[in-house]
Chain A
């Protein structure tokens, strides 16, 4: 599970002016009652669009997120780690398929989504534009990036759109193993030889600020989320998920004798909130817009796979008795 810090387009309530107000009121009343919205229900255009955008970003993040970890399968230390990592990466790619299916029920085909990923029109979680130099980087992702995504996805599984919630529940069940696998691998390095410990510490130093960015910009800068929260597209704010993650995992990191590269990091006992040095949000925007260390490589891997698979898809299509595509049901 890799999704987090989704980017929504600016929402303006003006967009709701041309909706059928009676149906809109019914729709909102249903959500207020805690009922799920299902694919064939009436929904505002804005709801549909933002959900497609969010679920699609989540699916792309699973696919792209499998790359930095996937490249470590061949070099994972030992047979057990290799098996575990292979199983985890397979799960993540499976999660992408579940999520693409959920997004498809809203009317955008999987092919269109993949085209938009390849052309750069759709985004994926920004953290995967950073490199996994060593095995320890891969371990950081397995444990702490997954942990961040879990905070986010457990919240989102209580959202309003039925198919997305069902996919997330399925995903969350499969996730317990990823988190433990990652924690196990980090624990073995952090409590291992001085060289192993150093490798783990260096990976942590590299990933700390991208990890804080993972949850998205501070709430004060993402003002357009009010209607998304009302419609339960978004359940927790960026700062809420970041705080939850800090609260759960900083003590677990310290427990392993690792340090966090931020002198200001501490929990304010009065407010109960963690205080920390803000990551570089200008860099975040720059990387999202394509200028990060691995953006080009990540997409190049996907494009190459797409190109190399073309003849297979053509051959399969030729054997397909029906090419009729209809929107999946749920």
Chain B
């Protein structure tokens, strides 16, 4: 190991030998994260976080997905609580597969659509239904859509932990953090002056 100039590394007193293999125990469950960049745009899927509880998932999601740029809200939901349909072919609406008559009453489900491969799932609306299957049938009938939907995610709305009005204060100063922006690092003048003197 070479000696570095870094005081932090010296303080660490690094493990020089191989540590015993780590116990296979700390894979936390994942939560899917949906972010609203600005009102009134829809919440869009951004990725997942590993967390022990929904509250922790929200904390990690805030850091992971809204550290840069604007944000007006975050939703998290445990991956295991989301149901997923298959994919339809490009021009075919997936709802064509869920046409049975259903009673649109019961628990509230939140529905997310993918309209093009490669794009994120977006929040499409809510329906009431007694089962996930019924929710798909009801969504097919009631949710407006401009393009064929290729893939649907759905979850009971009660499974989603959402940021509140009050929480929005945490994003209030994000635009002021200019040190995170390219625009704050101007070099042109300096280089011009340097070239003129050489």
Given A301-B9, A314-B26, A316-B28; A80-B179 close (CB under 8 Å): yes
| Contact status B191-A324, CB under 8 Å | no
**Interface footprint category on B:** 35 or more
Q: What is the bound-complex CA distance between A162 and B114, given in angstroms? A: 12
Query: Which one of B4, B16, B191 contacts A255 once the chains associate, using CB atoms below 8 Å?
Result: B191
| Contact status B53-A41, CB under 8 Å | no
Q: What is the bound-complex CA distance between A36 and B86, given in angstroms? A: 15
Given A101-B47, A297-B2; A256-B52 close (CB under 8 Å): no
| Contact status B28-A320, CB under 8 Å | yes
| Contact status B52-A320, CB under 8 Å | yes
CB distance from B86 to the nearest CB of A (A): 7
Q: Which residue of A lies closest to B46 (CB)?
A: A170
Q: Which of A146-170 contact B (CB under 8 A)?
A: 162, 165-167, 170
| Contact status A325-B22, CB under 8 Å | no
Q: Which residues of A contact B87 (CB under 8 A)?
A: 38, 40-41
CB distance from A63 to the nearest CB of B (A): 14
Query: Which one of B27, B79, B185 contacts A180 once the chains associate, using CB atoms below 8 Å?
Result: B185
Segment at the A interface, from B94-102, B116-124, B130-138, B141-149: B116-124
Q: Which of A191-217 contact B (CB under 8 A)?
A: 191
Query: Which one of A83, A111, A190, A322 contacts B78 once the chains associate, using CB atoms below 8 Å?
Result: A322
Whether a CB of chain B sits under 8 angstroms from the CB of A107 is no
Q: Which residues of A contact B8 (CB under 8 A)?
A: 71, 74
Q: Which residue of B lies closest to A81 (CB)?
A: B179
Q: Which residue of A lies closest to B121 (CB)?
A: A330
Query: Which one of A84, A94, A167, A300 contacts B15 once the chains associate, using CB atoms below 8 Å?
Result: A300
Q: What is the bound-complex CA distance between A133 and B5, given in angstroms? A: 7
| Contact status B12-A328, CB under 8 Å | no
Given A316-B52, A326-B79, A330-B45; A187-B26 close (CB under 8 Å): no
Q: What is the bound-complex CA distance between A177 and B52, given in angstroms? A: 32
Whether a CB of chain A sits under 8 angstroms from the CB of B161 is no
| Contact status B118-A98, CB under 8 Å | no
Q: Which of B122-175 contact A (CB under 8 A)?
A: 151, 153
| Contact status A329-B182, CB under 8 Å | no
Given A118-B22, A320-B53; A36-B117 close (CB under 8 Å): yes
Q: Which residue of B lies closest to A71 (CB)?
A: B6
| Contact status B182-A179, CB under 8 Å | yes
| Contact status A303-B29, CB under 8 Å | no
Q: Which of A220-273 contact B (CB under 8 A)?
A: 255-257
Given A180-B185, A300-B16, A301-B12; A97-B67 close (CB under 8 Å): no
Q: What is the bound-complex CA distance between A115 and B46, given in angstroms? A: 26
Query: Which one of A162, A307, A329 contacts B117 once the chains associate, using CB atoms below 8 Å?
Result: A162
| Contact status B180-A87, CB under 8 Å | yes
Q: Which residues of A contact B45 (CB under 8 A)?
A: 329-330
Instruction: List the interface of chain B (C-beta within 8 A of A).
Output: 1-2, 4-9, 12, 14-16, 18-19, 21-22, 24-30, 32, 45-50, 52-53, 56, 63-64, 67-69, 78-80, 82, 84, 86-87, 90, 114, 117-118, 120-121, 151, 153, 177, 179-187, 190-191, 193-195, 198
